[in-house]
Amino acid sequence: MRHRLTGLAALAAALLLPAAQADEGMWLPSQLPEVEAQMRAAGFEGDAAALSDLSRPPMSAVVSLGGCTASFVSPHGLVVTNHHCAHGAIQLNSTPEDNLIANGFNAATMADEVSAGPGARVLVTDRFERITDRILAGARGLSGRDYYEAVEAASKAAVAECEAEPGYRCSVVDMYSGTDFHLVRQLEIRDVRLAYAPPDAIGSYGDEIDNFMWPRHSGDFAFYRAYVGPDGKPAAFAPENVPYCPAAWLEVSTAPLAEGDFAMLAGYPGRTFRHRTAPEFAEQVEWQLPSRVELMGALLAAIERASAGDAGATVRYAAQVASLKNTLKRAQGELEGLRRSDAVAARRAEEAAMAAWLDGQPDAAGARADIAAALQVLDGARATRERDQLFSLMSAQTQLLRSAMQLQRLALERGKPDALRQPGYQLRDEPRIEAALRQAQRRYAPEVEQAILAELLARHRELPVEQRVPEVDAVFGTDATATAAALAALYSGTALDAEEERLRLLAADPGVARASVDPMMRAAAALLQAELRHEDEAKARAGELLRLRPAYMRGMIGHARSQGRAVYPDANSTLRVSYGRIQGLEPRDAVRYAPLTTVEGIVEKHTGVAPFDAPAPLLEAIARRDFGATADPALGTQTVNFLTNLDTTGGNSGSPVMDARGRLVGLNFDSNWEAVSASWMFDPRYKRAIHVDARYMRWIMSRVYPAPRLLREMGLHEEVADPQAPAAAAAR
Amino acid sequence: MRHRLTGLAALAAALLLPAAQADEGMWLPSQLPEVEAQMRAAGFEGDAAALSDLSRPPMSAVVSLGGCTASFVSPHGLVVTNHHCAHGAIQLNSTPEDNLIANGFNAATMADEVSAGPGARVLVTDRFERITDRILAGARGLSGRDYYEAVEAASKAAVAECEAEPGYRCSVVDMYSGTDFHLVRQLEIRDVRLAYAPPDAIGSYGDEIDNFMWPRHSGDFAFYRAYVGPDGKPAAFAPENVPYCPAAWLEVSTAPLAEGDFAMLAGYPGRTFRHRTAPEFAEQVEWQLPSRVELMGALLAAIERASAGDAGATVRYAAQVASLKNTLKRAQGELEGLRRSDAVAARRAEEAAMAAWLDGQPDAAGARADIAAALQVLDGARATRERDQLFSLMSAQTQLLRSAMQLQRLALERGKPDALRQPGYQLRDEPRIEAALRQAQRRYAPEVEQAILAELLARHRELPVEQRVPEVDAVFGTDATATAAALAALYSGTALDAEEERLRLLAADPGVARASVDPMMRAAAALLQAELRHEDEAKARAGELLRLRPAYMRGMIGHARSQGRAVYPDANSTLRVSYGRIQGLEPRDAVRYAPLTTVEGIVEKHTGVAPFDAPAPLLEAIARRDFGATADPALGTQTVNFLTNLDTTGGNSGSPVMDARGRLVGLNFDSNWEAVSASWMFDPRYKRAIHVDARYMRWIMSRVYPAPRLLREMGLHEEVADPQAPAAAAAR
């Protein structure tokens, strides 16, 4: 056992490692040639220049599903992703007679592949172009909200121009906190069909209990196929559509895996905060996360007290309680991780080193002034953080008050041309708002909503006067007695608890909502004024930060370059590549996790009760030790999942994991609990990513629920189980 | 990573290992020469013959505290044991001004050592003599209850003769299930004083949460000193008493430890069932443990329902709920373990091999007949197992009904000479009974007790008629309506819920209890008849098994000997030795536990909230990395606990762990969760014992809460922290 240092000492040791050892980074494909030496040191055997070209394999095979990542694995548009990413499609095609969630799905022929639904998308990135000058041209010289709106207008124009060609979805993305802007163009394939999914008891074996956990034993894979119109262009689902022919597809590896092997992953990670300033790190650790933990705990207690003994209310608030608990748990995990990694001290040290380096640069004074100004803007936000947190929860955690505020806001926005409406209140958002107004019924109990508001209002009353929201004081009063009376009057006097009344106001002319004398609508009208004022402040700050942060980022990048290090931008849902290796984990003193799990672990966890209810065909195949070519030669058994140090975050679900030669060896599907804080800081001691081993996928598809058609299509020659054998007979 | 086989395959592999690899066994010291070759193969460097001699070191240094084990570590009677074994003594000497549990205790001089209480004992085994012929002489030719009583009478006579010499406690112990009987004589030292204890936050760091868990970080050690009268004979506490001079004491090792090192342990393990028959194994796995889990769960649910919303009742049943939960959890763990180890199949295989071997022996027919008869007796017990389980819980899980049954039973037993009274109802037991009758008040709520009985009675009513207890039917009725009415009448009509009434009946003449017309006392009088009848049946069965099991044991021993294997008797609180090695654990797929934990783990677990509230002097010493000579050279830090494959069970707490040359390297204090089933089966894959590293003890006593006097007394030359340094200043 290697001695594990703690705190700063370990961090310092980790930071002193050469970059090739730390393996941190969500690189833009175009940056890969910059880090090729480190990639080679980690074991990469391909050509970094080829890897950086989105029009060539393997990058052109990596697609977005919008929220998840996937990859082409055949010349006929076959796509592999996570089972949990295809869950909606599996559910959609389930019937009382054939529950595909329980039974899995295995299309016998291409004609048997079923639609993943009208909203399903396969997005193929084909253009990624730096357009910083175009975006910032109109913003230069401006500040605050004007700067923000100039950037927004230029972005909308670029997107509209790009989307003029049908079949594409375009976006402008901000790199390095306002430093650079890129135009991304994606082919938008709209006929997506389900080809294969194992039963849920394989695809999400362990489910919520094992979520974030290692060791893991989940067969989290499923297959889609992308279809296009007979003319080869994207089209809505139609029987005459044909499989899409991708420019590239990944080859599935048949080689074994072992600890230390090179691995890389491509995908669409959502959002990280690693380039935030040290004061923002401190704020996250010292206030944001602890106050979230405290507040979520208080809301949970308030809901529990108010719904105690009322089975109906308990059911109606179950989803909100689950969500609050999840937010609380994640905040605790993130806090724990950032403290364990001493993230604030680490960021301060990086910032101090940058500042020292900056002092020696020609443009130091201007940069320092911008950085100081950015920090002042952040200070300004901090001055109202308690207010902003409480005020946003007053609508986010209620049903009736939120409905009223949405109705008032919509009434306001409907007075504008659609393009100028606030995002979230545009024409395309109205069906979603209607659904929420309907759903309010199933998630509401008056005494519980009042308890939630009472809890938030009590905290609001204790804010220093400069943080108090005058409209909140006016509506709810400034002492406990007044608040109690105001809440009672509001909830006994409103008609908004009737679904038809909410829908009537939604359907009515904007003037009707504005003129409503319903006390809840009146309260919402008052609170809306505060919301708009806070939004204005926030947009002004966002504009200033967009203008000022680039100085900070350029300082960080310049300092890193001076030390021979490249800097990747924070994740923003664009295509990124991370590289590293298969690696175990020492999560705590005297505990070591091996990087490969085996089917023996499935048997160990099996209880017969979901989520540990391995299907009989799987248990039987394990008992027969019917592994063949997919078995691991060193372990002498079938592997299931593996662990790497690859850099991932939400959005990387389904990302192909590739070997040193770009062959598919697995699918990313989760991170470990110790890495919840990685959205702020990559700590090489704890950051791991969890993948399905492609060998497990091949084994399931050859010996447990055989899909010889798809195996052949992927160029695999697994020996498929005799269809007369018990396991195969049980397969669909 | 080595591939971990599952189930029978792994078991077979484990059983095929040479004995020296399996390291199983709680050996009588006298057996050690028989297994010396295996001990040497494991690394033993001493002399097995010397080790088997109770009058020589190191065995003569190993003492019993009655329930715990300890050992002498100086020529002046200094004794080291677990902190949790000294907990009562620490509590006893705590005052509101000086809470020794929180602060720890460190006697500045011998005169400052404080009494561990009048009940504290140090028991030094000095004689261990086989007296089988004497015990069985009067039993031969008898059977059933007569056999049982003949053995009991001969045992009582041998004990009385042995205890004629003052200062000794004697007992007759059954080895190999009635095959052999030994007379054990122990010097009974009655003046025991507390010399040193770390604060509870060190001694039981992790407490209930970490109980049974590895990795562990507990400083579970404390020091007693044995005192005798000025004449050198055992005496009650008196100021003029002098330290006892033991015949031997253990040397504390100053050498490092590492995985694979030889280790051995001596102590007084309480009870194991490893020589039970295969049908008893099957009964344990198929009925005993599952039904216990089910029944404890049902009782917990009944208590929860009946006390819901009643804070008073919830508090009064908290201890009973905790105990039921603990019983439930242990039963689940044992069941899990026995299933994982496929214990029933393993035992059947051993038995079949023995039977095959027995067929070739000269006395096979008689042995086979005895074994068959023993199995028939066990079948007989099985026929009433549901009845016996439910009936015993009716008193065990109630307060008022149990009080009434105790009062009736005591009234009966008081009519006999004390020596003939049922154990538990002798004169010496009366203070305990009185305490229980008083305590009933604090653990009782009528609606909860009725709910418990209703749950048990509903199950009793569903028993087949031949298992139904007529007295239960008579008292509580034979249908749900009658039972509800009977319970209501019983609990509304009794005066036994008043403490004074229970104590009045306890103090009164036996006739008063018998003649009482209190409905609870009448019910108890009826149920007592059933209790006495069941006891008679049980004693007759116990006698038959005592007579018949030796044939089975001799078969097992003979078969093992024919294969060159020695057989140790089941644990029975006599001195035993186990040997093995320092060894990590692979508890489940892809998880490996290292065998040594370090102070870094204390910091990782520290939350500031008990039981993870490491004291400041400890955290400061860790932060200073103030380790010196006690640090582990390979790990470069201070170790805390370690793991071995030594064979232990309850009673082994405080057992000295020794190296290949008999030097003290640690103290046993717990087992791992995976080994809960080891009382039935030693599975080398999962059975581990958890120890305090003597180096941690030395470090705490030199750098954190320094005790230079005791270190010197043990011949240790640690560099003691400067008394002016912060850590030392905080020490007492």
Which pair of tokens denotes residue A115?
A: 């639609």
A597/B6 Cβ within 8 A:
no
Q: Which helix (H) or strand (E) holds A585?
A: strand A585-588
Cβ neighbours of A601 in B, within 8 Å? 588-590
User: Is B113 in a helix, a strand, or coil?
Assistant: coil
Cβ neighbours of B589 in A, within 8 Å? 215, 217, 597-598, 600-601, 604
With a cut of 60, say whether residue B83 has pLDDT above it. yes
Strand partners, B644: B582, B689
pLDDT tens by residue, B2-54: 344 444 444 444 444 433 346 799 999 999 999 999 999 999 999 999 999 98
Cβ neighbours of B595 in A, within 8 Å? 590
Q: Which of B592, B597, B636 is the closest to A3 by Cβ?
A: B636
User: Could you tell me how many helices (H) and strands (E) chain A has, helices first?
Assistant: 30, 20
- Flag whether residue B717 sits within 8 Å of chain A, measured between CB atoms: no
Q: Which of A3, A5, A215 is the closest to B590 by Cβ?
A: A215
Q: Model confidence at B221, in pLDDT bands (50, 70, 90)? A: very high
- Flag whether residue A229 sits within 8 Å of chain B, measured between CB atoms: no
With a cut of 50, say whether residue B243 has pLDDT above it. yes
User: Is B315 in a helix, a strand, or coil?
Assistant: helix
Q: What is the pLDDT of residue A444?
A: 95
Q: Which of A6, A592, A597 is the closest to B592 by Cβ?
A: A592
Cα–Cα distance list, B459 to B288, B464, B468, B682 (Å):
16, 10, 10, 35
Q: Which of A1, A4, A594 is the closest to B590 by Cβ?
A: A594
A588/B601 Cβ within 8 A:
yes
With a cut of 80, say whether residue B62 has pLDDT above it. yes
Percent of chain A with pLDDT over 90: 89
Cβ neighbours of A598 in B, within 8 Å? 3-4, 589-590
Cβ pair B148, B540 in contact under 8 A:
yes
**ipTM of this complex:** 0.84
Cβ neighbours of A336 in B, within 8 Å? none
Q: What is the pLDDT of residue A325?
A: 92
Q: Which of A68, A80, A77, A197 is nearest to A120 (CA)?
A: A68
Supply the residues of B annotated as catalytic.
84, 220, 653
B6/A636 Cβ within 8 A:
no
Cβ neighbours of A214 in B, within 8 Å? 590
Residue A691, judged by CB atoms within 10 A of its CB (0-12, 13-18, 19+), counts as buried
**What is the C-alpha separation between A497 and B98, in angstroms, rounded?**
61
Find the residue in B nearest to A6 (Cα): B600
Q: What is the pLDDT of residue A720?
A: 84
With a cut of 50, say whether residue B667 has pLDDT above it. yes
Which 8-state DSSP code applies to residue A137? T
Cβ neighbours of A594 in B, within 8 Å? 1, 590-592
pLDDT tens by residue, A652-709: 999 999 999 999 999 999 999 999 999 999 999 999 999 999 999 999 999 999 999 9
Residue A267, judged by CB atoms within 10 A of its CB (0-12, 13-18, 19+), counts as buried
**What is the C-alpha separation between B631 and B653, in angstroms, rounded?**
25
Q: What is the pLDDT of residue A22?
A: 60
CA distance, residue A205 to nearest chain B CA (Å)? 15
Those residues whose C-beta lies under 8 Å from the C-beta of residue A732, and which sit 6 or more positions away, are A103, A104, A105, A106, A705
Find the residue in A nearest to B341 (Cα): A604
Q: What is the pLDDT of residue A725?
A: 44
A 10 A CB-CB count for B648 gives: 30
Residues 178-217 of A with CB under 8 A from B: 214-215, 217
Strand partners, B120: none
Residue among A1, A598, A606, A642 with most chain B CBs within 10 A, to mutate: A1
Q: What is the pLDDT of residue A423?
A: 86
**What is the C-alpha separation between B361 and B126, in angstroms, rounded?**
38
Q: What are phi and psi of B194, to 5 degrees?
A: -85, 130
CA distance, residue A250 to nearest chain B CA (Å)? 29
Cβ neighbours of B598 in A, within 8 Å? 3-4, 589-590
**What is the C-alpha separation between A320 and A460, in angstroms, rounded?**
22
Q: Which of A1, A214, A593 is the closest to B635 by Cβ?
A: A1
- Flag whether residue B635 sits within 8 Å of chain A, measured between CB atoms: yes
Q: Which of A589, A592, A600 is the closest to B598 by Cβ?
A: A589
Interface size, chain A vs chain B, as Cβ–Cβ contacts under 8 Å: 82
Q: What is the mean pLDDT of chain A?
A: 93
In degrees, rounded to 5, the angle at the alpha carbon of residue B460 between the alpha carbons of residues B458 and B461 is 65
B594/A1 Cβ within 8 A:
yes
Q: What is the mean pLDDT of chain B?
A: 93
CA distance, residue A591 to nearest chain B CA (Å)? 5
- Flag whether residue B604 sits within 8 Å of chain A, measured between CB atoms: yes
Q: What is the pLDDT of residue A264?
A: 98
Q: What is the pLDDT of residue B22?
A: 60
With a cut of 50, say whether residue A330 has pLDDT above it. yes
Cβ neighbours of B591 in A, within 8 Å? 215, 591-594
pLDDT tens by residue, A285-320: 999 999 999 999 999 999 999 998 888 899 899 889
Q: Any catalytic annotation for residue A84?
A: yes
Cβ pair B154, B139 in contact under 8 A:
yes
Q: Model confidence at A722, in pLDDT bands (50, 70, 90)? A: low
Q: What is the pLDDT of residue A719?
A: 80
Find the residue in B nearest to A2 (Cα): B635
With a cut of 70, say whether residue B68 has pLDDT above it. yes
* Mean pLDDT (whole number) for A611-624: 97
pLDDT tens by residue, B292-344: 999 999 999 999 999 988 888 998 998 899 899 989 999 999 999 999 999 99
A593/B215 Cβ within 8 A:
no
Which string of b and e fits B572-596 if b means at least 16 CB within 10 Å?
A: bbbbbbbbbbbbbbbbbbbbbbbbb
Listed range (A59-68, A591-600, A722-731, B710-719) with the worst mean pLDDT: A722-731
Q: What is the pLDDT of residue A57?
A: 85
pLDDT tens by residue, B610-661: 999 999 999 999 999 989 899 999 999 999 999 999 999 999 999 999 999 9
With a cut of 60, say whether residue B523 has pLDDT above it. yes
**What is the C-alpha separation between A547 and B731, in angstroms, rounded?**
57
Find the residue in A nearest to B9 (Cα): A623
Tell which wins on pLDDT, A344 or B722.
A344
- Flag whether residue B591 sits within 8 Å of chain A, measured between CB atoms: yes
CA distance, residue B689 to nearest chain A CA (Å)? 15
With a cut of 70, say whether residue B590 has pLDDT above it. yes
Q: Which of B217, B589, B635 is the closest to A604 by Cβ?
A: B589
